[in-house]
């Protein structure tokens, strides 16, 4: 005769789960620590698994009602909007996506850190030996001058910073289209390379940082303000797109190296699902960068105006991550995982 007593391990899971439910109902789940919520979520998943085993054993079915009640309460606490078939787009844009972005912040910070650190290294190295600039800067960015001309010749610097200002609207439009295609290829390669355990992604970020550090090193004795006014208006959205794409690539690499309790394939798919909007954001940033690089960089605007445009370009990013921090506080990790 089959034993109709609930196994001790099952009872312990539901006792712990009931304790989490009571605490959450009394004090609110949002006020609990991240470790508490994560433990709660794991217990809930264990409870679902146990429920499946209990249903397969007829002798234990008398234990189902109270256990199902605990699971329903847990589900409603962890998924407060589960009864809604679909959140409104604006609610998703205002809360869900920023919360997800904040949960991924360490990968994006790592991506930014690699670019910033290698940028500093590139600056120091080229200061010590300007010939290294030929290693760090791709040939198509060197115009028709040798790199030492940018270091020693104010005329060469001026020619570089004012190139394209006399171009027609048609040429600038074509140039912006070509820029967008080229930059998009780099961004796509940056996050797709994550499938190679993130190693090529790191190489692209390092190359980007070294190149960024090289330009101010070459202009350090010349028109450095003009260089920043030339570089930053399109550089802010462009580099932000590369940094975000690099963060996705690092996430993919980490999902392959450390998929946790999930199979590798599922962990990678989950990472891609969580970054769809970030990929779209990268594409939009690159469109904006291409327009600015073609029509503002190659314009007659003075340096203060260009720098003001660059400063204004940082505001949306600051607001996005501030919003992400607040949105993350109002959304449970289980929802973010979904």
Question: Residues 241-293: pLDDT tens digits?
Answer: 999 999 999 999 999 998 888 788 888 888 888 898 899 999 999 999 999 98
* C-alpha torsion 296→300→301→302, nearest 10: 140
> What's the N-to-C CA distance of the chain in angstroms?
42
Same domain, 240 and 278: yes
pLDDT of the residue at 1? 41
The DSSP line for 249-269 is: HHHHHHHHH--TTS-HHHHHH
In this predicted structure, the answer to whether residue 58 has a pLDDT above a threshold of 50 is yes
pLDDT, one tens digit per residue, over 131-159 is: 888 888 876 665 545 666 776 778 888 88
In a domain, 38, yes or no: yes
CB 242 within 8 A of CB 186: yes
* For the ranges 5-19, 151-165, 304-318, the one whose mean pLDDT is highest: 304-318
- Which pair of structure tokens corresponds to residue 121? 């290294």
> What are the tokens at 172?
């600038």
pTM score: 0.70
Q: What Rg value do the Cα atoms of the chain yield, rounded?
A: 27
pLDDT tens digits, one per residue of 163-203: 888 888 888 888 888 888 988 998 999 989 999 999 999 99
The three-point CA angle 98-104-110 to 5° equals 130
Whether residues 110 and 57 share a domain: the answer is no
Instruction: Lowest mean pLDDT of 28-42, 109-123, 245-259, name the range.
Output: 28-42
> In this structure, are 50 and 135 located in the same domain?
no
- From CA 75, how far away is CA 44, in angstroms rounded? 8
One domain for residues 134 and 227: yes
Residues 69 and 127 in one domain: no
Say yes or no: 238 and 114 in one domain: yes
Percent of residues, the chain, with pLDDT higher than 70:
89
Pick the most confident of 61-70, 293-302, 325-334.
293-302
Instruction: Give a yes or no: residue 85 inside a domain.
Output: no
Residue 321, in any domain of the structure: yes
Of 43, 78, 113, the one marking the end of a domain is 78
Q: Is residue 94 part of a domain?
A: no
What is the chain's mean pLDDT, rounded?
85
Same domain, 266 and 125: yes
Range of the domain at 64: 8-78
Count of structural domains within the chain: 2
Both 130 and 71 in a single domain?
no
The pLDDT of 112-123, averaged and rounded, is 96
Mean pLDDT of 12-25: 89
* pLDDT of amino acid 283: 92
Task: Please give the Cα distance from 4 to 63 (Å, whole number).
Answer: 9
Residues 23 and 67 in one domain: yes
Is residue 232 assigned to a domain? yes
Residue whose token pair is 């991240």: 34
Strand ranges inside 32-79, DSSP E: none
> Per the domain annotation, does 3 fall within a domain?
no
Task: For residue 106, tell me if it sits in a domain.
Answer: yes
Question: What pLDDT, on the 0 to 100 scale, is given for residue 211?
Answer: 92
Give yes or no: residues 65 and 116 share one domain. Answer: no
Instruction: Based on the fold, state whether residues 229 and 320 are members of the same structural domain.
Output: yes
Name the burial class of residue 139, with classes exposed (0-12), middle (13-18) and buried (19+) by CB atoms within 10 angstroms of its CB: exposed
Count the neighbouring beta carbons within 10 Å of the beta carbon of residue 30.
13
What percent of the chain has a predicted confidence (pLDDT) above 90?
35
Is residue 36 very low, low, confident or very high in pLDDT (cuts 50, 70, 90)? confident
Domain C-terminal end among 44, 78, 112: 78
Q: How much is the average pLDDT of 224-240?
A: 93
Higher local confidence (pLDDT), 91 or 88: 91
Q: Give domain status of residue 36, yes or no.
A: yes
């Amino acid at each position: 005769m089959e034993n109709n007593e609930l196994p001790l391990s099952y009872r312990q899971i539901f006792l712990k789960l009931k304790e989490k439910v009571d605490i959450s109902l009394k004090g609110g789940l949002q006020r609990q620590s991240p470790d508490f919520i994560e433990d709660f979520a794991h217990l809930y998943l264990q409870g679902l698994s146990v429920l499946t085993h209990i249903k397969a054993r007829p002798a234990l079915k008398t234990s189902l009602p109270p256990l199902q009640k605990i699971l329903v309460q847990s589900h409603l606490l962890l998924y407060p909007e589960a009864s809604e078939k679909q959140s409104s787009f604006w609610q998703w844009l205002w809360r869900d996506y920023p919360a997800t972005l904040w949960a991924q912040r360490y990968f994006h910070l790592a991506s930014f850190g690699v670019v910033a650190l290698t940028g500093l290294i590139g600056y120091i190295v080229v200061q010590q030996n300007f010939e290294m600039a030929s290693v760090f800067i791709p040939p198509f960015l060197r115009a028709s001058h040798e790199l030492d001309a940018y270091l020693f010749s104010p005329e060469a610097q001026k020619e570089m910073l004012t190139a394209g200002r006399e171009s027609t609207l048609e040429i600038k439009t074509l140039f912006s289209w070509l820029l967008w295609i080229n930059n998009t290829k780099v961004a796509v390669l940056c996050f797709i390379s994550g499938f190679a355990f993130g190693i090529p992604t790191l190489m692209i970020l390092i190359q980007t940082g070294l190149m960024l550090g090289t330009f101010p090193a070459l202009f350090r004795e010349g028109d450095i303000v003009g260089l920043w006014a030339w570089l930053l208006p399109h550089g802010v959205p462009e580099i932000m797109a590369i940094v975000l794409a690099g963060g996705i690539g690092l996430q993919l690499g980490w999902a392959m190296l450390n998929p946790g309790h999930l199979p590798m394939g599922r962990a990678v798919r989950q990472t891609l699902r969580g970054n769809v909007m970030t990929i779209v954001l990268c594409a939009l940033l690159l469109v904006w960068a291409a327009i600015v690089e073609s029509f503002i960089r190659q314009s007659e605007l003075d340096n203060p105006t260009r720098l003001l445009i660059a400063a204004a370009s940082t505001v949306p990013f600051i607001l996005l991550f501030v919003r992400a921090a607040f949105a993350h506080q109002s959304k449970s990790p289980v929802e973010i995982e979904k």
